[in-house]
Amino acid sequence: MSSAVDLRSTRGRESPRFFSLRRYVDFLRGATQPDEKMALGSAYVGTTAAGGLSVETIRKRIRLATYNICSGRAGRLEMALRAMQQSNVDLGLLTETKLTNGIYTRFSLDYHVVATEARNHSQGGVALFFRDSPYWQVESIRRYGPNVISFELVTGTCQIPVVGAYVPPTDLSTMEFVNRAMDALPQGLPPLLLGDLNVDLADLRDDRARSVAADLASHGFEDLLPHFRQRCGFRHGTTWWQHRNEETVSSRCDYILGTDRRMFQNMSLRDPRLFSSDHLMVLGELQSDTLGRNKSYLRGRQRFPLRAPKWGPATRAEALLRDITESLPEPTREEKRARRAWISDETWRLVDERSALQRDAGHDRAKARRLSRRIRQAFQADRK
């Protein structure tokens, strides 16, 4: 019999999240099976056959998000990336970016950015952002029209195809690009669809909403957010709101859709600090594969893995390669210089002041406009 702890007996919960470090280490020391593991914060640590800790069996949680930022122009893309960094988001989709002519930031705040070409500067456009990690990587990025982008999230032996989309309120042609992207995904893998669909799937009021819902149902998608309990203040389930004639109008239009709820450990609504938008962010947490398996996958992708065999006598070519390698001096590694942030602290202070002001529904709009003009001037000065 295994010496694993019965997680269901802890305070009546099925899967508790946090344990004391001493209890966690004592459990690992007494484990007899190499695949026994427990959760500690955002990492899963496995054990070796001898019962000790193994770095190669560490797993991490991947935080995936979708967020409508209303516009990525005039420095708002950098502001959104800063909000994602503060929320500790690993990768995700920014919708309604409105970026045109290929003019946007490709790398900022440790995030790589790949954006589509919006039809005009007033509507549409999406942007994929992700940061580097030894536990997973983003591959096979493809654009489909102005509002759809697809990619594959690969972590070790696990491959997750993802499609990101923004569907304008009066447009159905985007669903054709979504279907085209879905058809191009690898078969037999559970896909994900995230983005702003401008449709409340729980309240199909018109033919357009029913048409979008029918297309999603044909791929087997379902809304994954209701499967998870939300924090207090976000249990309303809406992701968009607007004040009209002293009334607040709200709806649900931002989604992370999937075919298997078990892919996610948690999913929640968040309101990123220091960024102003009339949408909420949908944040999901997935489990990565082990660090060792992801390293093995990356080694398998190498075109010429020149490695000598571990057993048996060396051939003449292998002996020559070893002699040449030993005769060469040790290379000196240059330290990687961190990229200098081009946005000054004073500019971020103005951005934070405006974001705090706009969170109040009855804020001084004249003051907000003055701050916006000062922010644009500050961005222009920082670019010089």
Where exactly are the structural domains of the chain? 7-57, 60-287, 345-383
Which pLDDT does position 51 carry in this prediction? 52
Which pLDDT does position 257 carry in this prediction? 95
Q: How far is the C-alpha of 89 from the C-alpha of 200, rounded, in Å?
A: 25
Give the Å distances, CA to CA, from 284 to 91, 258, 264.
Answer: 10, 11, 7
Which pLDDT does position 27 carry in this prediction? 46
Residue ranges in the chain whose pLDDT is less than 50: 1-25, 27-29, 31-42
The one-letter amino acid code at 356 reads A
Q: How far is the C-alpha of 71 from the C-alpha of 241, rounded, in Å?
A: 16
Which pLDDT does position 149 carry in this prediction? 97
Domain boundaries 60-287, CATH class? alpha beta
